[in-house]
Structure 1
Amino acid sequence: MTLAADFFFSFRSPYSYIALVKLRDRVKDHDVAIRLRPVYPMAVRVPGFFKRSNPLMVKYVALDTTRVAQQADIPFHFPRPDPIVQDMESLDVSPEQPYIHRLTRLAAAAQLEGRSLAFANAIAPVLWDGSVIGWNEGDHLSRAAASAGFDLEALDAAIVAAPERYEAIIKGNENDLGAAGHWGVPTFVFQGEPFFGQDRIDALFWRMKSHGLQRMSSE
């Protein structure tokens, strides 16, 4: 029997990207379904979040995510531009957030198709692997989406026609994340038990193995 776990994910979270990459081989090697569920980053979900956080947090996260990615041999660079419009000196977050709204709604559209993990695997590296400057320009996203079988233009059009439909999906994901007992990303949830952080993937799979998770046959 295929076991399933939810993966609460944000396109602005470097740890979410690292977790996404770490999951790839695990998903290929095990009889498991990972249901990626996009949420907005804390900067959008919690107004004033960065203003209330320790000022050392941003610097530390930049240091830690870079070394974690290096240790795991994961291509990594902070996105250019940042998917959140934010002044990193004052930490003020703009009320207008065209990048993260688009990305998160697109992932919600892919979630409706049951293919949000494939969508994030195609799109997130364009932002995070360091190969692209100006990921929001030209055809970078459309080509990445097409490589996973998505028509980005059609998805964008559907979202423009009914944005509230996709906002409801995102809000539902955020509510379910809280109901599972956490608030941050990446968080995995298996049978109601949350596992927060890219460094909890081993614990997640250990727990699933105790419930019968099987490796895929090599035949």
Structure 2
Amino acid sequence: MTRRVDLWIDLRSPYSFLAKDPAYALEAEFGVELVLRPFSLEIASAAQLGDPASLARGMRKIKYLYADARRFAKPRGITLLGPKKIFDQKLVHLAWLYAARTGHDRALIDLAFPRFFKRELDYEDRAAIVGLLQDAGVDAAGFDAYAAGEGPAELDGHQREAEAQGVFAVPTFVVEGELFWGQDRIDFVRGKLAG
């Protein structure tokens, strides 16, 4: 029986982007089934951007996190430009789930991350998301109906399942019920799989 590793990611998260390729390598290394799952991180609350007193501290935290992510990205040749605003990820996550119906989810993810972090893709622009689907090899003819119909309930189901597993941030690996949070925890995941 093939072991399964869930990887919960948000397509707006630079750390999720950094976790993706090392996670793919786990499949070849250990013969596991890697399942990428959407998790909608509440960035404003995670960065404590709520009240004016904490806004400056939260912005410092975001700037630091991007600087830190770039430390990991630079040796790998990955560009991480901070977005000009906090984007709503719902539309691109719906596109991800729609692409998964035809097995094109990884193609979409592989295209979305670098484009977003080079500021070449607006996750809230419907036409851009339809273009992303098409570039990933997906017939987008039914996407609007999916996004207006069953898609949001499917996306909410993933969020509920993540929370039931104890996921609170991204990227989070789940191996046999054990959580490993952070792209820099991949060696712990390897240890768990090897053990």
The TM tier, using the shorter chain, reads 0.7 to 0.9
Task: Name the structure where helix makes up a greater proportion of residues.
Answer: 2
Counterpart of 2:165 in structure 1 is 180
Alignment of 1:25-174 (within 5 A): 25-43=25-43, 49-51=48-50, 54-55=57-58, 56-71=60-75, 73-78=76-81, 82=85, 84=87, 97=88, 100-113=89-102, 115-128=104-117, 130=118, 133-136=119-122, 145-146=133-134, 148-151=136-139, 153-162=140-149, 165-174=150-159
C-alpha displacement of 1:47: 9.2
> Of residues 174, 187, 190 in structure 1, which corresponds to 2:175?
190
SS of the equivalent of 2:37 reads: strand
How many equivalent pairs are there? 188
Q: Is the 8 A contact 1:180 1:192 kept in 2?
A: yes
Unaligned runs of 5+ in 2: none
> 1:105 is matched by which residue type in structure 2?
L
Is the alpha carbon distance of 1:118 and 1:34 closer, same or farther for their aligned partners in structure 2, counting shifts above 3 Å? farther
C-alpha displacement of 1:191: 1.3
The normalised TM-score by structure 1 is 0.71
Please give the alpha-carbon distance, in whole angstroms, between the structure 2 residues aligned to 1:24 and 1:5.
Answer: 11
Please give the alpha-carbon distance, in whole angstroms, between the structure 2 residues aligned to 1:195 and 1:113.
Answer: 29
C-alpha displacement of 1:75: 1.4
Q: Is the 8 A contact 1:7 1:188 kept in 2?
A: yes
SS of the equivalent of 2:50 reads: helix
Please give the alpha-carbon distance, in whole angstroms, between the structure 2 residues aligned to 1:25 and 1:47.
Answer: 29
% identical aligned pairs: 25
Q: Is the 8 A contact 2:95 2:129 kept in 1?
A: no
SS of the equivalent of 1:36 reads: strand
SS of the equivalent of 1:77 reads: coil
C-alpha displacement of 1:63: 0.9
Is the alpha carbon distance of 1:37 and 1:138 closer, same or farther for their aligned partners in structure 2, counting shifts above 3 Å? closer
Please give the alpha-carbon distance, in whole angstroms, between the structure 1 residues aligned to 2:8 and 2:19.
Answer: 11
> 1:117 is matched by which residue type in structure 2?
R
Q: Is the 8 A contact 2:6 2:34 kept in 1?
A: yes
C-alpha displacement of 1:161: 4.0
SS of the equivalent of 2:35 reads: strand
Q: Is the 8 A contact 1:159 1:166 kept in 2?
A: yes
Is the alpha carbon distance of 1:172 and 1:141 closer, same or farther for their aligned partners in structure 2, counting shifts above 3 Å? closer
Coordinate RMSD, CA, aligned: 3.0
